Structures are given as C-alpha cells and as structure tokens.
Amino acid sequence: MEMRTRMLCMTVALLVSLFGAVVSVCSQEDVTTVQDSAFMEKMRPPVRFLHDEHNENAQIHDDDCNVCHHTFDKGKKVEDESSEDQECSACHQLTDGGSPMALIKVYHNRCKGCHLQLRAGPVMCGECHSNN
C-alpha cells in the first residue's frame, strides 16, 4: 500500500510540475522586449514591453499603429501608413561614427517623450531598463 501511495504522490507531483511549466510558458507569450538589431552591445538591459497591455492602457487602438510606428515621406508624416513591420533603425540610422546614441535618442524621444507629455508611464532609466 505504501508503494502505491508513493507512486500516486510522485505522479501527482509530476503532473502539477508539468502543468506549472505549461502555464508559465503560455503566460510568457505576451512578454516581449524592445529589441533592435542595430544595438550590438547592450549598455542597459532591454526594455520589457507588453505591447497589447501598453496599447490598452494608453487607449491606442489597432488602427492607430502609426502613433508609434510612424512613416514619413519627404519630411511629412504619412497619416494612413505605419512601419510596424520594421525596426526603428531601418529609418533612424546610427551616427557616422557608429555610436548608438542617435538611435537611443530616437527611442527615448518616442517613448519617454510621450510619457512626459501625457504625464503617464515610466520616465526614469531603471523603470524601463530592468533585469526583471
């Protein structure tokens, strides 16, 4: 009888562990980070960014993608086009010396600038660039 109880406990523990692993993987599906292939060396941890949650909180709707993913033609913003299929570095190049600071400024102006303007969202370095 003791052997059956031990086997049952081990089976239940295994099933609970597998269930926990599956739930953990599925809950991470929406977790993403802001990445750009132009950044070879990281100065800070990448920004953890939950796209859908952010847009819901900011009340940005599916047809408003160009609020962040803008497109310009001859210096003028094209209102009905967006660039969500491209990295920011596709248009915003690194400086001539290869320093990523110009591209970093683009990200900061877009994200932090909006947060400051709306008085909502993180603005300090560690609030976005976190190891968590």
Nearest-CA neighbor of 85 among 69, 72, 73? 69
Looking at the structure, tell me whether residues 96 and 69 fall in a common domain: yes
Q: 108 or 15: which carries more pLDDT confidence?
A: 108
Looking at the structure, tell me whether residues 24 and 39 fall in a common domain: no
pLDDT tens sequence across 1-42: 687 887 777 776 666 666 655 544 444 445 688 888 888 788
Looking at the structure, tell me whether residues 21 and 66 fall in a common domain: no
What single-letter DSSP state applies at residue 45? P
The number of domains in the chain is 2
Looking at the structure, tell me whether residues 6 and 36 fall in a common domain: no
Looking at the structure, tell me whether residues 52 and 25 fall in a common domain: no
From CA 53, how far away is CA 2, in angstroms rounded? 49
Looking at the structure, tell me whether residues 17 and 1 fall in a common domain: yes
Q: Which amino acid is at 44?
A: R
Looking at the structure, tell me whether residues 14 and 68 fall in a common domain: no
Looking at the structure, tell me whether residues 14 and 62 fall in a common domain: no
Looking at the structure, tell me whether residues 77 and 57 fall in a common domain: yes
From CA 99, how far away is CA 6, in angstroms rounded? 61
For residue 7, what are the domain limits?
1-30
CATH code assigned at 91? 3.90.10.10
**What are the structure tokens assigned to 44, written together?**
């800070």
Q: Give the phi and the psi of residue 43 in degrees, each rounded to 5.
A: -85, -30
Looking at the structure, tell me whether residues 69 and 121 fall in a common domain: yes
Looking at the structure, tell me whether residues 58 and 122 fall in a common domain: yes
From CA 119, how far away is CA 117, in angstroms rounded? 6
Contacts of 102-110 with C-beta under 8 Å, sequence gap 24+, read 103/36, 103/38, 103/39, 104/43, 107/34, 107/36, 110/68
pLDDT tens sequence across 35-88: 888 887 888 888 988 999 999 999 998 888 988 999 999 989 998 899 988 899
Coil, strand, or helix at residue 9?
Answer: helix
Looking at the structure, tell me whether residues 82 and 120 fall in a common domain: yes
